[in-house]
Structure 1
Amino acid sequence: MVNPYFDPNYNPYPPHVLLGTGVLFIIIPILSVGLRFYTRWASGTKVGVDDWITIPSMIICILLSITQIIATTTGGLGGHQELIDGQIGHTDQLTAYEKTKYIYELLGTSGLWIVKLSALLFYRRIFSVGVYRTVNNVFIGLTIAWGIAFTFAVAFQCTPVSTLWDRLEPEFGTACIGGPSFYLSLAISDLILDISIFIVPIPHIQQLRMPRRQKVAVIGVFLLGSVVIAIGITRAIIFGWVVAFATVHPLAYFSDITWYTTGVLFWHLVENVVGLLGCCLPTYAPLFKSLLQKRKMTDDSTESSHRGPDKRRRPSLHLEDEAAPALGDNLSHSSSYRISNYK
């Protein structure tokens, strides 16, 4: 795959795109979490820890979006870096960029492991199986350990932290850790954790006794959030491209850092927002199923009105009937695997 960063005309993240997505990514998290809580309320399902934890995730996504807007308007993100007589220098733009970049990285890393926890707690809520619960607990522990380790590493990547904006990046020296290799390890380990988390429930679903078509549908619902894996792959590839370019042309990179790092930061935000949306999607199943049944009843009623009165009593639909685990009645019980009712 050709590295597009070696093309001087490559610019998929102009300021207007960053500003537009910044506004969009404020709206999506609010709607995602709001609809999740509405579905819980409408179906009479008890709100659990997996639901409450989406609130801090939503707040982080909103703050990240605001940070992207500020970075674009004051820090030059998505545009060319301001220079002093053609040389790298301390400018107000560069200072604003480095401060917003630090906030971006800190919030983004925190958001990634919080949304993973929400997904794992959702799985725990649905499956009440000894073996699976143990596996789930292991992944919860790994996620918390991963999140705390990388969040603290990002928070204290430089000593003192103000080194990030008081010095130019080529001058960091031993005051800061790792650099590109550190962030690449973060991106790759994050991707591995995402893949593992979304694969974990599939073997347990396969052992449920239900028709093959329903089983495929249930697996599909669980994997709706796996689009975040594609986002993680994209972010890792883009980061690899940026590191490769910076290695070959360090002067060009550090002279225009606001231009070359835009993609990495942008996809960090996208991964958080899409991850939150993905872990909320399965919880909408009762609401969508209810809406489809109501539409079917309306269509049947319209059809029967053309045929004349129908003396058969139609069953009334109550959304409370959908309060069985978030995936509805499709999940059958089996002798060795049980889907717990968390109503």
Structure 2
Amino acid sequence: MAQNLTAEVASLLPPPTTINDTHKVYGVAIACAVMSGVATSVVLWRLYLRYASRAFGLDDWATIPALILYLGWSILAVYVNLAGGIGKPLWEITLGEYATWFKGFVASSWMYTSMTAAIRVAILLFYRRIFSQTVSWLRVTIYVLLSLQAVYVIVYSILPALACHPFDSAWNPFERRAHCDDWYFYYDQVALYSTSMVFDLVLLLLPLEPARRLQMRRSKKAGVIVMFILGAGASIVTAVKLGIFVTDMNGYSEFDPYFARYQLVYFLPAQMSHNGLTFWLPSHVEPTVALIGASLPGLRPALNVMSASVSQRLRSLYYSRGTSRSDSRAVQGRTWAGHELDDKTVGSTASSRRRDRGFDITRIIETKISSETAHGSQVQLGQYPAPHPTQ
């Protein structure tokens, strides 16, 4: 039977030797690059505000390696999708492109593990910064979870290395089937994503009870809780990604009949034809959501100031327009010191009022910033509001 299979494979067409980008797909790579740019900008803004307000803490230092690992992951995702031929018809992909594709997939196992652990460490240190002084049980829980992140990285950095013997056969399509246990690798990935989802779910629920005890108005407290939920909202994306991965690997996908003319039809699963959408895209959304959500509490005071500024500006413009109309109607036909008020004088008067009103708005915003910065125990620019210490 093996001889018949060998003869049948030999009768089919080999993979192409020249790169053909006629049907190259750029959408996934562009989406990953855009998400990376947005997340990086948000994180850098958060770090700058924390540094400018002299509130730079251990959680901010931990965010820096998390951001570096995320950028490395982003570069890997963009490069593999562009250089690995992902999204192209399987019969147009060369062996060199397949090697890039599989190397990237294997590398993603290690990069995903270290990146997600680094992001969770930053979030846990932020929880420690806010709640550990007032909630003793939370401090112990945080230390336990930090220790488990180290175990998580060690275990899931070892398991992928055992999938192939020899290991370099992992990126050779013709050798992979004979020397790699694809089901072992599949269950390893399912275990990895499941563990990651459980950790993210714990991060999602952990601050809810301490946040409920914060001494602040209900509306403000609700906003705080929502922000914490967004900060750990990657658990939702992880669950979706895990569902897509399991469904895709256990489902049945048909090959394009044209691919049946090529030798690799016996060595590649049909699901690989949409690997960019089922693996790389959701795998990139997850850390993007986690980083942006984890940065929102640090941006909250600045966002409040910006919101107040925009609101005051809109009200000012609306009020000044109404005042200008009533002023122009009231001064028509009147005189001042025996002289008629012309349109130019009316315009300059309205302009002066708008300018004075603008100065008032600026003073209001500056007063708000100064107040927030001065009362650091309540709200400090770039620092999340902490509960009042008990006497």
TM-score normalised to structure 2 length: 0.69
CA contact (8 A) 2:159 2:188 kept: no
Q: Which of 27, 46, 52 is the equivalent residue of 2:37?
A: 27
Q: Does 1:154 align with 2:154?
A: no
Kindly provide the amino acid, as one letter, of the partner of residue 164 in structure 1. A
2:297 counterpart residue number:
282
Q: Which of 187, 194, 207 is the equivalent residue of 1:201?
A: 207
How far 1:325 moved relative to its partner?
Answer: 7.9
Q: How many pairs were matched up?
A: 312
2:120 counterpart residue number:
116
Greater relative CO (CA pairs within 8 A, separation 6+) = 1
Q: Which of 172, 180, 197 is the equivalent residue of 2:179?
A: 172
In the TM superposition, 1:67-146 aligns within 5 A as: 67-82=76-91, 91-127=95-131, 128-129=133-134, 130-146=136-152
- Cα distance in 2 between the residues matched to 1:141 and 1:109: 15
Shift of the 301–244 alpha-carbon distance from structure 1 to 2, 3 Å rule, reads closer
How far 1:15 moved relative to its partner?
Answer: 2.1
Q: Larger Cα Rg: Structure 1 or Structure 2?
A: 2
Kindly provide the amino acid, as one letter, of the partner of residue 323 in structure 1. Q
- Cα distance in 1 between the residues matched to 2:149 and 2:157: 12
- The CA deviation string for residues 214-268 of structure 1, in whole angstroms up to 9 with x for no partner, is 322221121122331221111111111122126999x688244542433123211
CA contact (8 A) 2:50 2:381 kept: no
How far 1:80 moved relative to its partner?
Answer: 2.7
Kindly provide the amino acid, as one letter, of the partner of residue 129 in structure 2. R
- Cα distance in 1 between the residues matched to 2:274 and 2:137: 46
CA contact (8 A) 1:283 1:326 kept: yes
Partner SS for 1:82: helix
Q: Which runs of 5+ in 2 are unaligned?
A: 1-23, 256-264, 321-352
2:384 counterpart residue number:
327
- The CA deviation string for residues 245-293 of structure 1, in whole angstroms up to 9 with x for no partner, is 26999x6882445424331232112212221111111110121122234
Which shifted more, 193-202 or 26-35?
A: 26-35
Shift of the 161–257 alpha-carbon distance from structure 1 to 2, 3 Å rule, reads farther
- Cα distance in 1 between the residues matched to 2:301 and 2:166: 50
2:224 counterpart residue number:
218
How far 1:204 moved relative to its partner?
Answer: 1.4
Partner SS for 1:53: helix
Shift of the 78–60 alpha-carbon distance from structure 1 to 2, 3 Å rule, reads farther
Which shifted more, 154-163 or 222-231?
A: 154-163
Q: Does 1:254 align with 2:268?
A: yes
TM-score normalised to structure 1 length: 0.78
How far 1:195 moved relative to its partner?
Answer: 0.5
2:49 counterpart residue number:
39
Partner SS for 1:162: helix
How far 1:149 moved relative to its partner?
Answer: 1.6
RMSD over equivalenced CA pairs, Å? 3.4
Q: Which runs of 5+ in 1 are unaligned?
A: 1-13, 85-89, 337-343
- Cα distance in 2 between the residues matched to 1:218 and 1:257: 42
2:68 counterpart residue number:
59
